[in-house]
């Protein structure tokens, strides 16, 4: 069962990103004008949790626009690398944070942000270090390169309390294999946002692909 969508407004760390939908779209916004129609298409397709990566100059304004204009979206910031980016993202309206890895400074900033976060891990030692700090929900990245479903199955035995959002190299053909694992809450991916569809502003196609992704579990 999916987690009820959190209401908009002040930061709220009470919900789990892993429970919002089976797939979290990983979005790279080059043109802020695309942010709102793109997010509306994803939400209409059943994917409310939207990770906007902080890889472009338009990212922060895109988060702000989605937070203000797409009520059904739970917009978050991805590729969060520094405490300063944590502050900027939450100020812009990000309601969750995702990082490819984790440092002590970044973890402290994410904890202080007041929103849910998924720090990145790719080894058992990294998972154990976060579990020691009370973090149970993590991003497994880069999923395919780090061992894929076989590695996550291996982690489930000794570390059953850890749950993951695998991201990196996952598509519609492999997503169901990840989603079938007991320690996977959702997966991250961008296959519902083909470059040609975004370039053409073909939001109907994006919505259709989002709907297919939402039905994977």
Instruction: Point out the residues that are catalytic.
Output: 51, 139
In angstroms, rounded to a whole number, what is the distance separating the alpha carbons of residues 108 and 99?
Answer: 13
In angstroms, rounded to a whole number, what is the distance separating the alpha carbons of residues 89 and 28?
Answer: 15
Q: Check: CB of residue 164 under 8 Å from CB of residue 140.
A: yes
Phi, psi of 34 (to 5 degrees): -85, -15
Nearest Cα to Cα of residue 163 among 186, 183, 177: 183
Element (H, E) at 51: strand 49-53
Structure tokens at 5: 């969508």
Q: Check: CB of residue 195 under 8 Å from CB of residue 3.
A: no
The neighbouring-strand residues paired with 25 are 189
Phi, psi of 172 (to 5 degrees): -65, -20
Structure tokens at 193: 């946002």
Buried b (16+ CB within 10 A) or exposed e, 153-172: eebbeeeeebbbbbbbebee
């Amino acid at each position: 069962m999916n987690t009820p969508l959190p209401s908009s407004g002040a930061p709220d760390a009470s919900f789990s990103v892993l429970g919002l939908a089976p797939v979290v779209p990983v979005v790279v916004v080059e043109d802020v004008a695309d942010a709102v129609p793109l997010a509306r298409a994803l939400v209409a397709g059943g994917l409310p949790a939207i990770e906007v990566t902080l890889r472009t100059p338009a990212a922060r304004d895109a988060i702000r626009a989605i937070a203000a204009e797409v009520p059904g979206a739970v917009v978050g910031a991805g590729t969060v690398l520094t405490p300063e980016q944590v502050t900027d993202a939450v100020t812009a309206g990000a309601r969750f944070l995702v990082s490819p890895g984790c440092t002590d400074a970044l973890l402290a900033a994410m904890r202080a942000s007041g929103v849910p976060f998924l720090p990145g891990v790719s080894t058992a030692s990294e998972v154990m270090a976060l579990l020691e700090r009370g973090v149970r929900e993590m991003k497994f990245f880069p999923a395919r390169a780090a061992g894929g479903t076989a590695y996550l199955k291996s982690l489930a035995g000794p570390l059953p309390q850890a749950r993951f959002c695998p991201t990196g190299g996952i598509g519609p053909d492999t997503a169901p294999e990840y989603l079938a694992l007991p320690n996977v809450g959702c997966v991250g991916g961008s296959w519902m946002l083909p470059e040609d569809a975004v370039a053409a502003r073909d939001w109907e196609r994006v919505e259709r692909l989002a709907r297919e992704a939402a039905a994977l579990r």
